[in-house]
């Protein structure tokens, strides 16, 4: 068997042949150059590592997350054209009636009767969209939970990129390149959370986060399209938006 050519470490960008074995089994090549780099991203990567890496499937809500979503889904937390609006008003109303939405927030929960009876249901296109929208209700607040904060930030990014046509409406149509782009976004969001939490926001971790954002934008440009890379930088790394060309010159020098 030909040796795998390798790729760039998701955390630090070093060229390596150390592939994430669990994600490899799911048909997607993701790389970590060292146990330290794998450990740095693990809090985020573990949520999608393995059989849910490709296509990337968001996990069901945990019972406490479901309770939190229920308290926020009708609250006016988004800025709509006609003033403040809720996640429910903005998005869910297109797919669901109110009783159906209330059913979903109880059903799409780990260990619920629905989960026990239909264990594969999490992966349907419809349920994934609903999960993403429900989680967005939590995207403006930070909680004690890394898992909750990372997943709600990712839901918001996924939803915006879905609206912009970077990700498909049906998650089962996700290409391998789109899935790898998503794992780059997971890395960026995870580093933001990890760096934001560290007591000392040192230069080194700020630089690591910045380079991770750059690699994500670069991946989108090299493997998807220039337009996709524009959308990704605008939605996921707004501070970098518009600087792509300049940054490339600096980084490649
Ligand atoms: Zn590394
Ligand atoms: Zn993995």
CA of 82 to the centre of ligand 2 (A): 42
Long-range contacts of 110-119 (CB under 8 A, 24+ apart): 110/59, 110/60, 110/61, 110/62, 110/63, 111/63, 112/60, 115/60
- Grouping H, G, I as helix, E, B as strand and the rest as coil, residue 58 is coil
Per-residue pLDDT of the chain (253 residues; tens, 9 = 90+): 455 789 999 999 999 999 999 999 999 999 999 999 999 999 999 999 999 999 999 999 999 999 999 998 888 877 767 777 888 887 777 777 888 888 899 999 999 999 999 888 888 998 998 899 899 888 777 778 999 999 999 999 999 999 999 999 999 999 999 999 999 999 999 999 888 766 456 788 888 888 999 999 999 999 999 999 999 999 998 777 666 555 555 554 4
Question: How far is Cα 172 from Cα 123, in angstroms, rounded to an integer?
Answer: 8
Looking at all shown ligands, the one closest to residue 38's CA atom is: 1
Give the gyration radius of the chain's Cα atoms.
Answer: 18
CA of 36 to the centre of ligand 1 (A): 7
CA of 42 to the centre of ligand 2 (A): 9
Question: How far is Cα 110 from Cα 227, in angstroms, rounded to an integer?
Answer: 37
CA of 146 to the centre of ligand 1 (A): 21
Looking at all shown ligands, the one closest to residue 191's CA atom is: 1
CA of 102 to the centre of ligand 2 (A): 33
Question: How far is Cα 171 from Cα 55, in angstroms, rounded to an integer?
Answer: 7
pLDDT tens digits, one per residue of 125-157? 989 988 998 998 887 777 789 999 999 999 999
Question: How far is Cα 13 from Cα 37, in angstroms, rounded to an integer?
Answer: 10
- For ligand 2, a single-atom ion, the residues with CB < 5 A are 20, 22-23, 49
CA nearest to 54, candidates 236, 146, 186: 186
Sequence-separated (6 or more) residues with CB below 8 Å from residue 18: 6, 9, 31, 32, 33, 34
């Amino acid at each position: 068997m030909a040796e795998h050519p390798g790729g760039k470490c998701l955390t630090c960008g070093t060229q390596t042949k150390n592939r994430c074995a669990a994600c490899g089994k799911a048909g997607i090549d993701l790389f970590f150059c060292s146990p330290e780099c794998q450990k740095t991203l693990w809090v985020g990567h573990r949520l999608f590592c393995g059989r849910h890496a490709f296509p990337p499937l968001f996990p069901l809500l945990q019972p406490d997350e479901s309770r939190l979503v229920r308290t926020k889904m009708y609250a006016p937390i988004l800025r709509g054209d006609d003033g403040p609006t809720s996640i429910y008003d903005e998005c869910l109303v297109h797919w669901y009636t109110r009783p159906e939405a209330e059913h979903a927030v109880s059903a799409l929960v780990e260990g619920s009767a629905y989960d026990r009876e239909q264990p594969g249901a999490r992966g349907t296109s419809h349920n994934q969209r609903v999960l993403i929208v429900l989680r967005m209700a939590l995207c403006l607040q930070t909680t004690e939970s890394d898992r909750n904060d990372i997943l709600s930030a990712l839901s918001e990014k996924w939803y915006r990129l879905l609206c912009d046509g970077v990700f498909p409406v049906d998650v089962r149509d996700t290409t391998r390149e789109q899935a790898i782009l998503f794992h780059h976004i997971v890395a960026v969001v995870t580093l933001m959370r990890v760096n934001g939490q560290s007591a000392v926001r040192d230069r080194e971790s700020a630089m690591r986060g910045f380079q991770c954002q750059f690699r994500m934008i670069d991946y989108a440009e090299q493997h998807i399209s220039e337009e996709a890379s524009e959308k990704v930088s605008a939605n996921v790394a707004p501070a970098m938006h518009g600087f792509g060309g300049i940054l490339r010159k600096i980084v490649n020098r």
